[in-house]
Amino acid sequence: MSANADGPEPESKGSETRERILAAAEELLRKHGIAKTSVVDVARALEMSHANVYRHFASKSELQDAVAHRWLTKIMTPLRAIVAEDGDAAERLERWVQTLAAQKRAKVLNDPELFEAYHAIAQDARAVVEAHVAELLQQIAGIIRDGVKQGAFKVKNPDTAATAVLNATSRFHHPYHVKESGGRDTTPEIKAVLKLVLAGLKSGTL
């Protein structure tokens, strides 16, 4: 164990240490799953005391929540970029849904062990998941508002329409359904659903 593992940590090093802890926790979750990954295991992997880990995360649950938040942040990055664009709202909304679904599908296909761990964590990380869903709704509503300004969508309440869009497409990106599908490519099905969704937005029925 390093000599400074339990000593005071400079503030500038705090975020770096926190990131190292999260990265180590993620790797252990990938190898051993949520049931067999403890704070002590994470500390041992980093050659520091568990007390040092607790300086950054008050409990195992808080550490797991932070891991889930870290994963969800990576998923949100390309979605935020689509929302920030100025192009055709209908095309952006379709690409947004396809991107979200593709990322979840890729996690199942490329890193199934870690996806399994994230799925288990997400079931308990209620506040983290609620914040994630709230941002998804906010992003969809933002694209819909752009569509209204462009004259493409006839929607009176973008927030209500956003909820309808997320619910209509949830089977393609919700962790439970993605897991159950085994990562099957659902692109044709998504396009069919989005055709109906976009027709509703354009006609004002959503």
Q: Residue ranges per domain, the chain?
A: 11-58, 63-203
* CATH architecture entry for 11-58: Orthogonal Bundle (1.10)
CA distance linking residue 7 with residue 189, whole number of Å: 55
Cα 4 to chain centroid, rounded: 34
**Cβ–Cβ under 8 Å, residues 45 and 58:** no
pLDDT at 174: 85
- Taking only the tens place, the pLDDT of each residue in 112-155 is 877 887 777 777 767 888 898 999 999 999 999 999 999 999 99
CB-based burial label for 69 (10 Å; 0-12, 13-18, 19+): middle
Q: Tell me which residues of the chain have a pLDDT lower than 70.
A: 1-13, 125
pLDDT at 68: 84
pLDDT at 4: 44
pLDDT at 3: 37
pLDDT at 1: 39
CA distance linking residue 4 with residue 9, whole number of Å: 8
CB-based burial label for 110 (10 Å; 0-12, 13-18, 19+): exposed
pLDDT at 2: 40
CB-based burial label for 18 (10 Å; 0-12, 13-18, 19+): middle
* CATH architecture entry for 63-203: Orthogonal Bundle (1.10)
SS3 186: coil
What burial letters (b/e) apply to 138-165, b meaning 16+ CB within 10 Å? ebbbbbbbbbbeeebbebeebeebbbbb
pLDDT at 61: 87
Domain pair 11-58 / 63-203, same fold: no
CA distance linking residue 114 with residue 29, whole number of Å: 6
Give the number of other CB atoms < 10 A from CB of residue 74. Answer: 10
